[in-house]
Amino acid sequence: MTAATGIGARVLRTEDKRFLTGTGRYVDDLPLARATYAYFLRSPHAHAKIKSIDTSAAKKMPGIVSIFTGKDLVDAKVGGLICGWVVKDKHGQPHKAPPHPIMAVDTVRYVGDTVAMVVANSHDEAKDAAESIKVDYDVKPANIDLAKALDKGAVEVHAEAPGNLVYDWEIGVKADVDAAFAKAAHVTKLDLINNRLIPNAMEPRAAAADYDKGTGNYTLWSTSQNPHVLRLILSAFVLGIPEHKLRVIAPDVGGGFGSKIFCYADETMVCWAASRVGRPIKWTAERSESFMTDCHGRDHVTHAELALDKDGKFLAVKVATIANMGAYLSTFSTAVPTYLYATLLAGQYTTPLIYANVRAALTHTAPVDAYRGAGRPEATFVIESLVSKAAAEMKMDAAELRRKNFIPSNAFPYQTPVALQYDSGNYPPIIDEAMKIADYKGFEARRAEAKSRGKLRGIGFSSYIEACGLGPSRVIGQLGGGVGQWESAQIKFNPTGNVQVLTGAHSHGQSHETTFAQIVSDKLGVPMEQIEVVHGDTATTPFGMGSYGSRSLAVGGSAIMKASDKIIAKGKKIAAHLMEASVADVVFEQGTFKVAGTDKAVPLGAAVFAAYVPHNYPLEELEPGMDENAFYDPSNFVYPAGTQICEVEIDPDTGEVEVVAHTAVDDFGNIINPMIVDGQVHGGIVQGVGQALMENAVYDKATGQLVSGSYMDYTMPRADNVPSFKLGNKVTPCPHNPLGVKGCGEAGAIAAPAAVMNAVHNALAPLGVKHVEMPATPLNVWQSIQGARHAVAE
Amino acid sequence: MYDFAYHRPKSLADAVGLLKGKPEARVMSGGMTLIPTLKQRLAKPSDVVDLGGIKELAGIKVEGNNVVIGAMTRHAEVATSAEVKRVIAALAHLAGHIGDPQVRNRGTIGGSIANNDPAADYPAAVVALNATVTTNTGKHTADGFFKGLFETALGDGELITSVSFPKAEKAAYMKFPNPASRYAMVGVFVAKTAGGVRVAVTGAGSSVFRVKAMEDALAKNFSSAAIKDIKIPADGLNSDIHGSAEYRAHLVGVMARRAVDAANK
Amino acid sequence: MTISVGMTVNGKSVSGKVEARTLLVQFLREHLGMTGTHVGCDTSQCGACVVHVDGKSVKSCTLLAVQAEGAKVLTIEGLAESADKLHPMQEAFRENHALQCGFCTPGMVMSAIDMVKRHDYKLDEATVRRELEGNLCRCTGYHNIVKAILAAAPAMKSAGV
């Protein structure tokens, strides 16, 4: 099976050639003849009424083609942006869904809210004119502090959501959980913040649109992770352009991490305005604009408790979370702190009773939606912080407490108390391997050595599990999701034997052009250089749901397997005809159809040629052509799991935290390309370290200004902030998809924050520091140490 | 950015001439501060006078007991200069930690001190080493040069031509960077020269300042132990999401002690 | 105010009419259509725009096109000897999976080549990580980028580049 280019092989990437030579084609690179350039005027206030907008002076400036405001959209009866997931609250009522106009009409609700679009012959001319637009704002107080957003008297963001409550949702039976807590020998409590993050893919969001007057067809280029979904939303809900008249192309896209899933105001405007302007329109966000307008991630305030018996067995978990939605509900926002969060609160453990209450709140900040991990990092952080804290309180080893509570390997499929049924897994060997790689045994000696240098060393665990490979459509529908989550594949052979593999998934760094080709190469025996993976264009690829939620391989790859099966099935019939054998006697191995026990053979290429030149061909029973598609709807999510161990050294004089070692052992099921998988883990770990130690989206509580509005104040992890990583790998194949794979794209970011913060707490415990909030910046750590010192002194 | 008239004079005299009568003109040295400022539309100069073509303004010379660095000398040159490393290694170390490698290829000492960003590194070196700033119209002492937030003693049409640093018997610079911008949250330059001991702090306040108590203590005993109990008041120090005034006050002590230890190595 | 500007880019003489405010990266991308050099931020920190000007690595977003008058500019498009023969640094990035989305890659490669030469082809992990201060990557976690640069240094030396 493992040919040099097949499944499991470390195949170098097809996509590298163009990226390494500067010949990639990202949206901003596209040369569009006679293009105009769009610039968006954005609100400088977190909350204000718009009394008037005067564009008269701006319209007269050089190079100006058109200027649009929210009123133009009202006059044209254009819809608003949508939230595609209806969450039912604890009383069965759908969540409050305030309107989300594409551009603000009478109220702006966050710094960065879209107020006007200027279209000009050049970017500078557009920007010059935007400065001459006179907006008369009546500035109002802003609701910024999430912890207080639902309090009585808090400034209301939308009248349609009284008290700023979008929903009050729960899972589990509170009475049962309370009863378990009442009998517990030990209860560990935690109040924690999951800090707000700004995704910051290195390519800023961009869009370009062109309208063909002759055909009435629109083309929209967008940095989208899911071009078909974007097209569906724009067509059915927002602009009303029929789907078949709107082509959405996501070319090379420079990273997404969730932030490029959603349907945004700017790309919607660029599309809508293209037919009114009569020339192509290009727009690329400036980085500071991205900071303000890309959907932010995380932003929870949580109180959590873990009940244990005297031996450390977990009896129950209860969690209360307030989740920030921002000022408007973004496309998937409502699902992230509910179905992608609370359903993971069992972790890798046999905890029998779990209750979670989540209240989603509106604030005068940018919309919050999925960001790498989307809900699962938040869940892992809660559980793994509780477990390590419990271990410390009960004076048990952190690994031992986990082991005691792992779901045993013979318990799968395992039904958790929070809806999800884990299909497979074996957790003890993972933590064993992680501890071996991390040299856990040697830690205390390293701690002592660090102490002699005046440094505090700590070690922390994070045993994560996550649910990805979105997902079974029926389940998603039951939970309120507005779309299915299947995936498509089309395997289209050409007469000369080369093949295009078209997928509804989209790669913005995930290497599908290589890994999907590997699958086809392995299954059909076609050399890699004869395979082209095509993605991102709604005109050529079958309808697909795009890439996010670590689904491309588990769902998209499975669709490719199904399509491959169809190719083989058809090929067998053709080969049987050519070999004058019965179909039942034909086998397919290493790219060739054979009749077992004979030396009759028909290479796949010959069967393909025959299908397109069907002179000697069973035309009465079989259509010509070798072009099969498949749609795959998974029967369950997939459940990658693993353990990360982080080791830090803290300088108590400055509060600086250095990550000196970080180990990750993961079970991703079968591995298609280990090099790609490792790369995903590396990147995810660093995003997790970023969350734990550096990154924080900060709004001024009084004015709602985005204080961390650029890389000058938002700390991005750099190469010198992290070490090289030590990875390990265990395999329990997924039993319900044809590849046996589990998603790997988000795991690193899901597990890492807890591993890092547990290490930080472990390092600072000797100083009496009880709690450090994320991010554990030098300032934050130093203040925590000072606080502990004063507490001791008192 | 807004458009402007661009000039690239070949001599200092031409540069000064171009600036006469143009109150909205700006001088560009390395451009590492000016160009980002212009890109953010925070300034709208009528003219930009690029000093990059004036060869006489760049270069490093040793003159007796001084290292003389031309105003347009790039940080990378200072960082790797054999002369600077020999005479005042701490200055090379400071230059080597300004910005990143690409910024160091363009940013200049003249631009840095003329701008007087509160978080810039060079002002601490100039004050701690008691350097002399030479311009086209005269000289400034270190103590007289830095006046306040983005403010220096330079007059209209006055351009820095060079900075002269005296040789140091002992010197070191310790910088605690802002985690995001990597500018100095607190940077302390400690130097013992023929003129005495000076401790200059950048990043913590609105402009570089000296810590007299530390200077007095170190003059008696140049060791970190001598200053371990000296605390800086937090009043008036900068405060932002990366560092409160109290934290910066604390870091001044930490960085000063570490600088003295490094200077003693 | 339009200014005529001329320079050598990847060995070829080029010229154009720019405004004083035109950045070098805009000249490369928009006037010359060389879109390999990318813009990732507006505070001169991300490094996606790094090119070499007269042998020095600089951020082309923080240089005016007119400042490169008469200069020799090297961009990512000028590295490979031919379609089939990549520069050893490009090759090392490929072999070590040092890129995922590819957006930071041009600037990363240009910075990497510069650091190898400045350190006379001798680098260690700590030095590489420090020298990458001006280049942000969100995808790779830097692990493979560091590996690639360490592997490329001796390869560049052998190849005499």
Does the beta-carbon distance from A675 to C130 stay under 8 Å? Answer: no
C82 confidence band (pLDDT: 50, 70, 90): confident
**B247: closest CA of chain C, how far (Å):** 25
For residue A272, give the amino acid letter: W
Q: How far apart are CA A490 and CA A162, in angstroms?
A: 48
pLDDT tens per residue, range B110-141: 999 999 999 999 999 999 999 999 999 999 99
Question: Domains plus CATH for chain A?
Answer: 16-22+486-632 (3.30.365.10), 32-140+202-255+260-293 (3.90.1170.50), 378-468+638-793 (3.30.365.10)
Task: Say which residues have a Cβ less than 8 Å from residue A749's Cβ, sequence separation at least 6.
Answer: A372, A373, A377, A684, A685, A687, A688, A691
B184 confidence band (pLDDT: 50, 70, 90): very high
What is residue C143's predicted lDDT score, i.e. its pLDDT?
A: 98
Q: Is the pLDDT of residue A3 over 90?
A: no
Cis peptide before B36 (omega within 30 of 0): no
Q: How far apart are CA A593 and CA B65, in angstroms?
A: 86
Q: Contact, A402 vs A348, CB < 8 A?
A: yes
**B1: closest CA of chain A, how far (Å):** 7
Task: Say which residues have a Cβ less than 8 Å from residue A412's Cβ, sequence separation at least 6.
Answer: A422, A423, A424, A425
Q: Contact, A194 vs A298, CB < 8 A?
A: yes
Share of chain B above pLDDT 90, in %: 100
pLDDT tens per residue, range A695-732: 999 999 999 999 999 999 999 999 999 999 999 999 99
Residue boundaries of the structural domains of chain C: 2-78, 88-159
Cα–Cα distance list, A471 to A21, A477, A550, A551, A554 (Å):
37, 10, 10, 8, 9
Sheet holding A186-194, edge to edge: A165-171, A353-362, A314-326, A300-308, A186-194
Does the beta-carbon distance from A713 to B247 stay under 8 Å? Answer: no
Tokens standing for A419? 């809806």
Q: Contact, A298 vs A775, CB < 8 A?
A: no
Q: Which residues of B touch A288 (CB under 8 A)?
A: 40
Q: Interface of chain C against chain B, CB under 8 Å?
A: 1, 3, 19-21, 23, 42-45, 47, 50, 56-59, 61-64, 66-67, 69, 111, 114-115, 118, 131, 133-135
Supply angle C-alpha A574, A578, A582, rounded to 5: 75
Question: By CB neighbour count within 10 A (0-12 exposed, 13-18 middle, 19+ buried), where does C8 fall?
Answer: middle
Q: How far apart are CA A267 and CA A206, in angstroms?
A: 7
Tokens standing for A367? 């919309």
Minimum Cα–Cα distance from C47: chain A residue: A202
| Gap between the terminal Cα atoms of chain A | 68
Q: Which residues of C touch A711 (CB under 8 A)?
A: 41, 43, 45-46, 136
**A543: closest CA of chain C, how far (Å):** 23
Question: By CB neighbour count within 10 A (0-12 exposed, 13-18 middle, 19+ buried), where does C122 fall?
Answer: exposed
Does the beta-carbon distance from C100 to A511 stay under 8 Å? Answer: yes
Write out the CATH class of domain C88-159: mainly alpha
3 state SS of C26? helix
Task: Give phi and psi for A659, each to the nearest 5.
Answer: -85, 110
pLDDT tens per residue, range B204-244: 999 999 999 999 999 999 999 999 999 999 999 999 999 99
Question: By CB neighbour count within 10 A (0-12 exposed, 13-18 middle, 19+ buried), where does A620 fall?
Answer: exposed
Q: How far apart are CA A236 and CA A597, in angstroms?
A: 57
**DSSP notation for A486-547:** -EEEEEEE-TTS-EEEEESS--SSS-HHHHHHHHHHHHH---GGGEEEE-SBTTTSPP---S
Q: How far apart are CA A308 and CA A320, in angstroms?
A: 18
Q: Is the pLDDT of residue A794 over 70?
A: no
**C92: closest CA of chain B, how far (Å):** 21
What is the pLDDT averaged over residues A673-685?
98
Least confident of A535-539, B173-177, C1-5: C1-5
What is the pLDDT averaged over residues A16-27?
97
Sheet holding B184-193, edge to edge: B168-177, B184-193, B196-202, B209-210
The position carrying tokens 């040789």 is B167
Q: How far apart are CA C138 and CA A189, in angstroms?
A: 34
Q: Contact, A248 vs A231, CB < 8 A?
A: yes
Q: How far apart are CA A52 and CA A47, in angstroms?
A: 15
Q: Which residue has the higher pLDDT, C81 or B184?
A: B184
Q: Is the pLDDT of residue A551 over 60?
A: yes
**B3: closest CA of chain A, how far (Å):** 9
What is residue C33's predicted lDDT score, i.e. its pLDDT?
A: 97
pTM: 0.98
**DSSP notation for A76-100:** TT-------B--B-TTSPBPP----
Q: Is the pLDDT of residue A600 over 90?
A: yes
Residue C11 burial (CB count, 10 A): 9
**DSSP notation for B68-134:** EEETT-BHHHHHH-HHHHHH-HHHHHHHTTSS-HHHHTT-BHHHHHHHT-TT-SHHHHHHHTT-EEE
What is the pLDDT averaged over residues A206-214?
98
Chains that touch A (3 or more CB pairs under 8 A): B, C
β A499-503/A531-534 pair status = parallel
What is the pLDDT averaged over residues B22-47?
97
Residue window 75-134, chain C: list those with CB within 8 Å of chain A.
75-77, 79-80, 86, 90, 93-95, 97, 99-106, 109, 125-126, 128-130, 132-133
Q: Which residues of C touch A26 (CB under 8 A)?
A: 35, 38, 103
Interface residue of A128, A292, A710, A782 to substitute, partner B, most B CBs within 10 Å: A782
Minimum Cα–Cα distance from C21: chain A residue: A124
β B5-7/B47-50 pair status = parallel
Does the beta-carbon distance from C41 to A678 stay under 8 Å? Answer: no
Chains that touch C (3 or more CB pairs under 8 A): A, B
Q: Contact, A644 vs A462, CB < 8 A?
A: yes
**B251: closest CA of chain A, how far (Å):** 7
What is the pLDDT averaged over residues A601-607?
97
**B194: closest CA of chain A, how far (Å):** 32
Tokens standing for A251? 């070319």
β C72-74/C2-9 pair status = parallel
Q: Is the pLDDT of residue A1 over 50?
A: no
Q: Is the pLDDT of residue B172 over 80?
A: yes
Q: Which residues of B touch A716 (CB under 8 A)?
A: 180
What is the pLDDT averaged over residues A455-477?
96
pLDDT tens per residue, range A484-511: 999 999 999 999 999 999 999 999 999 9
| Gap between the terminal Cα atoms of chain C | 40
The position carrying tokens 């749901």 is A545
pLDDT tens per residue, range A122-143: 999 999 999 999 999 999 999 9
Q: How far apart are CA A700 and CA A256, in angstroms?
A: 27
pLDDT tens per residue, range A226-275: 999 999 999 999 999 999 999 999 999 999 999 999 999 999 999 999 99
Does the beta-carbon distance from C94 to A682 stay under 8 Å? Answer: no
Cis peptide before A413 (omega within 30 of 0): yes
What is residue A4's predicted lDDT score, i.e. its pLDDT?
A: 78
Q: Tell me the average pLDDT of chain A.
A: 97
Range list of β-strands (E), chain B: 5-7, 25-28, 47-50, 60-63, 66-70, 132-135, 139-141, 146-148, 151-152, 160-166, 168-177, 184-193, 196-202, 209-210
Task: Say which residues have a Cβ less than 8 Å from residue C30's Cβ, sequence separation at least 6.
Answer: none
Supply angle C-alpha C110, C114, C120, rounded to 5: 150
Task: Say which residues have a Cβ less than 8 Å from residue A368's Cβ, sequence separation at least 6.
Answer: A196, A295, A296, A297, A298, A299, A323, A324, A325, A326, A330, A333, A336
Chains that touch B (3 or more CB pairs under 8 A): A, C
Share of chain A above pLDDT 90, in %: 97
What is the pLDDT averaged over residues C74-88?
94
3 state SS of A562? helix
Share of chain B above pLDDT 70, in %: 100
Q: Is the pLDDT of residue A2 over 90?
A: no
CATH, domain C2-78, list 3.30.70.2190, 3.40.50.300, 3.40.50.170, 3.10.20.30: 3.10.20.30
Tokens standing for B265? 């190595």
